[in-house]
Amino acid sequence: MQIIGHKNQLALLKGFLEKGLFFSSFLFWGPEKTGKKQIALGFAKGLLCQNNVFNGCQDCLACKDNPNRDFLFVSESFLPSSIIKSNDDKPYGIDTSRAVIKFLSLGASLSKRKVVLIDNAHLLSEEAQNSLLKIIEEPPAKSVIILVSDKPSLIFETVLSRTLGIYFPLVKQEDILHWVSDHKNLTEKQALEISKFSFGRPGIGFNLMADGKQLELYREKVLELLSFERQSAGQKLILLKRFLATDPEISKDLEFWQAILRDELLFSLGLGDLSLILSKKRELNQKDLVLSLKKLSNLSEMAENFPATAESALKQMVLSENL
């Protein structure tokens, strides 16, 4: 498992493992695709390992127990469909929290403790969160719950206040470039492009490296989008629809759209060197500048407060311009 960036957070977690300092609930939070889940999995393996080694020592009985019976990983793709049942629009319903509570009620077998990792914890329904709150307030001995989320504002304050929050910000471009440059099959130019197009998210860089066509497609789409701001609302919607249909993986990422708007601003302020993706000079007048700033803050706000897809957020943005 390769972890890119987050040196301080890793040092903190490894320190917890080495010194045996354990909190019963953690919240790993921050933007999508920054490596939170990977690090949470490494930490979980460390908590389960009899030798307390981050990511597991691979030698002890607990590490050799595969899949580890003292570990419950709650994620949309790994949960049996019988557990992902919910009465509302959130996939983790009351059955999920019941499964967690039942799992933690029994003692550990080979490990020193039982560990539950809930990926995308904001997908827990209200009922599920309420039910889980009881076990977070009074955790069984030798148990640890790790919540992972990029939208913690959708998790109850009562739950959040009882967890130790660890923030995972966007990873520096230079850290991503360093990682990407180690892959010998890439040219220098490709490595630089991947590091820029990742927007601080190694998860995106990983996808771009895995499939060369993705990088090409991405470059083409970015060039096409350079004209985005100058289009009419109708044309913008057509462009959006086409982009989202051809490349859902990247285009659903709000950070991508924010980067385009941010670059417009940087260029117009004569700070093009700092831009993330745009490579040619853009002209904006003062009115456009104010509009771009407003859009940036609107997008950030939408991304922060709603589990909206980029598609709906951008449509709202384009349509609101015409009001």
Interface contacts to Zn ion, rule CB under 5 A: 49, 51, 56-57, 60, 63
Structure letter (DSSP) for residue 38: H
> What is the β-pairing status of strands 143-149 and 25-29?
parallel
- Compute the distance between CA of residue 148 and CA of residue 40 in angstroms, rounded to an integer: 8
Provide the angle, in degrees to the nearest 10, between the axes of the packed helices 212-225 and 188-197: 60
| Cβ proximity to Zn ion, 49 vs 310, nearer residue | 49
| Cβ proximity to Zn ion, 56 vs 152, nearer residue | 56
- Compute the distance between CA of residue 88 and CA of residue 84 in angstroms, rounded to an integer: 11
The answer to whether the beta carbons of residues 54 and 40 sit under 8 Å apart is no
Shortest CB 167 distance to Zn ion, Å: 28
Shortest CB 64 distance to Zn ion, Å: 8
| Cβ proximity to Zn ion, 64 vs 241, nearer residue | 64
DSSP class per residue in 197-256 = HTTT-HHHHHHHHH-HHHHHHHHHHHHHHTTGGGS-HHHHHHHHHHHHHH-HHHHT-HHH
| Cβ proximity to Zn ion, 50 vs 298, nearer residue | 50
Shortest CB 43 distance to Zn ion, Å: 13
Shortest CB 72 distance to Zn ion, Å: 18
Shortest CB 48 distance to Zn ion, Å: 8
The answer to whether the beta carbons of residues 72 and 115 sit under 8 Å apart is yes
Shortest CB 112 distance to Zn ion, Å: 10
